[in-house]
Every structure is written in C-alpha cells, then in structure tokens.
Amino acid sequence: MFFKKLKKNLERNSFVRNRIVHSRCVGIWEKDPEYVLFAAFERFSDGHLAFDAIPLEEMARVTKWAEQLTALALRLSEQIGPTSPDAEEI
C-alpha cells in the first residue's frame, strides 16, 4: 500500500516539480497573478517556446510534498546506511 500511494503521489506531482526544477521561471502571469509562468524550453509551433502557467497554490502543495519526500528518503537512508556492508567502501 505504501508504494502504491508513493507512486500515485509521484505521478500527481512530478510534472509541476519538473517544471519548477528544470524550466526557467519567467515571472507572474499578468492576466492572473495567481499563476507563475515557466519557459519549458520545448518547441511549440513555428519554433516558439512553450510556456506553462502553474498556480501558486499548486506550487506550494508540490513544494511541501517534495520536502516530505526528501525527509522520508533521508530517514530511510539513515536507517539503511550504517548497517550496510558496503557503507565503509563509500
């Protein structure tokens, strides 16, 4: 059950997370200041770049999720790390 929930959350949040991390933030959308625009560095049509408008609320939710996932990964690695037979080789 744990891994199903983890996979579902990853699928739900990865697009926004990847846009935040791997795209260039170009500012707040003038038409609706509740959205942040990102240049995705992907061609859209006629050589124009695609932009994604991501709601601030969704960015906050995904940021919180990413922080929780990081904390989980650190806790798991701390539990695994010291008892790993290969830990001294690293």
* pLDDT tens for each residue of 50-60: 789 999 999 99
CB within 8 A of 54, min separation 6: which ones?
16, 19, 20, 35, 36, 37, 38
User: What is the pTM assigned to this prediction?
Assistant: 0.69
Question: How far apart are the C-alpha atoms of 41 and 52, rounded to whole Å?
Answer: 10
Q: Domain map of the chain by residue range? A: 2-73
For residue 16, what are the contacts with CB-CB under 8 A and spacing of at least 6? 54, 58, 59, 62
pLDDT in tens, 5-26: 888 988 889 889 888 888 899 9
